Chain A
Amino acid sequence: MDQKPSSKEIFISADDAVQKIIIKAVELERSKRGGEGKNPKSELLKHIKEIVS
Chain B
Amino acid sequence: MILRKIVLSNFRQFRDKQEIVFAPPGEKNVTVVHAENGFGKTALLNALHWGFWGKTTIDFSKPYSIITDHLATECSLRDTEASVEIWYSHQEEEFYLKRSLTLAQQRTDPKKTNIQLHKVVHGAVEQKPYKSSEYTIETHLPQAMGDMFFFNGENLDQLSLDKNAHQIKEAIFKVLGLELLESAELIAKDSVSVLSSELRKYSNDIGQSLIDNLVRCENELANLNTRKCELEKNLDAIEKDIKWIENELELNNESRLAQQRRRDIQRNIDSLVTHIADKEEEIGKFISSRGYYLFADDLVFAGRSAVQELERDGKIPAKFTSTVLQDIMDSGRCICSTDLNAHSECRQSIQLLIDAAADKSMDEAAQTIKSALSSLSAIDGYKDEFTELKDRYDELKRDRTQLENELNEVSRKIMQLDDEDAQNLEGQLEVKKEKGRECDREIANLCDPRIPGSIPNREKLRDSLNDQISAAEQSNDAAKRLSRQREATEHARKVMRDMINAEKEDLRTHLNNEISNEYSRIMLHDYKARLSSGFRLEVCKEIGSESQTVGLSTGQRQITSLVFIAALVKLARRRKEIPTIIKDLWGGDFPMVMDSPFGQLGDTYRGRIAKWLPTVAPQVVIFVSDSQWRGPVEESVEQKIGTEYILEYHAKELKSNASQKAVIRGNVFDQFIEDSEEFTKIRTI
Contacts and interface: CB of A to CB of B under 8 A. Distances in A.
Interface string A3-35: 011111111001101100110011011100101
A10 B130 contact: no
Contacts of A26: 180-181, 184, 582
A44 B496 CA distance: 15
Contacts of A8: 579-581
Given A6-B506, A28-B184, A35 B488 contact: no
Contacts, number: 94
A17 B487 CA distance: 10
Candidate in B183, B481, B484, B503 with the most chain A CB atoms within 10 angstroms:
B183
B337 to A, nearest CB: 57
Contact of A25 (B139, B187, B195, B500): B187
A44 B581 CA distance: 20
Nearest to A9: B502
Nearest to B500: A7
B489 interface: yes
Contacts of B506: 6-7
B187 A35 contact: no
A24 to B, nearest CB: 9
B441 interface: no
B158 interface: no
B495 A11 contact: yes
B180 A29 contact: yes
A29 B492 contact: no
Contacts of A45: 191, 194-195
Contacts of A44: 187-188, 190-191
Interface string B156-194: 000000000000000000000000110111011011001
Interface in B119-162: 130-131, 136, 139
> For this complex, into which size category does the number of interface residues on chain A fall?
20 to 34
Interface string B480-501: 0100110011011001101110
B136 A35 contact: yes
B505 interface: yes
B245 to A, nearest CB: 39
A22 B194 contact: no
Candidate in B184, B505, B582 with the most chain A CB atoms within 10 angstroms:
B184
Interface string B577-609: 001111010000000000000000000000000
A18 B491 contact: yes
Interface in B453-512: 481, 484-485, 488-489, 491-492, 495-496, 498-500, 502-503, 505-506
Nearest to B138: A33
Nearest to A33: B139
Given A10-B502, A33-B136, A53-B481, A15 B184 contact: no
B187 A41 contact: yes
B187 A48 contact: no
B580 A14 contact: no
A22 B496 contact: yes
A14 B492 contact: yes
A17 B580 CA distance: 20
B191 A48 contact: yes
B484 A25 contact: no
B488 A21 contact: yes
Contacts of A7: 498-500, 502-503, 506, 580-582
A43 to B, nearest CB: 9
A48 B184 contact: no
Contact of A22 (B492, B502, B505): B492
A14 B492 CA distance: 8
Nearest to B579: A8
A15 B190 contact: no
A22 B184 contact: yes
Contact of A10 (B139, B195, B484, B495): B495
A10 B492 contact: no
Interface in B420-466: none
A11 B506 CA distance: 15
A52 B136 contact: no
A6 B371 CA distance: 42
Given A8-B581, A28-B184, A35 B131 contact: yes
Given A29-B183, A44-B187, A49-B485, A4 B499 contact: no
B136 A25 contact: no
Nearest to A51: B488
Candidate in B139, B481, B495 with the most chain A CB atoms within 10 angstroms:
B495
Contacts of B136: 33, 35
Contacts of B484: 52
A14 B500 CA distance: 15
Contacts of A40: 187
A25 B481 contact: no
A28 B496 CA distance: 15
Nearest to B580: A7
Contacts of A35: 130-131, 136
Given A4-B505, A10-B502, A33-B139, A18 B495 contact: yes
B481 A11 contact: no
B588 to A, nearest CB: 14
A52 B187 contact: no
A44 B186 CA distance: 11
A45 B481 CA distance: 13
A17 B488 contact: yes
Interface of A: 4-11, 14-15, 17-18, 21-22, 25-26, 28-30, 33, 35, 40-41, 44-45, 48-49, 52-53
21 contacts: A4-B502, A6-B502, A7-B502, A7-B503, A8-B579, A14-B492, A15-B488, A17-B488, A18-B492, A21-B188, A22-B492, A26-B180, A29-B180, A29-B187, A30-B584, A35-B130, A41-B194, A45-B194, A48-B195, A48-B489, A52-B485
Given A6-B579, A29-B187, 11 more contacts: A10-B502, A10-B581, A14-B491, A14-B492, A18-B492, A21-B492, A25-B185, A29-B184, A40-B187, A45-B194, A53-B481
Give the 8 A-B CB pairs with smallest separation, nearest first: A25-B184, A21-B492, A7-B499, A7-B502, A52-B485, A11-B581, A8-B581, A26-B184
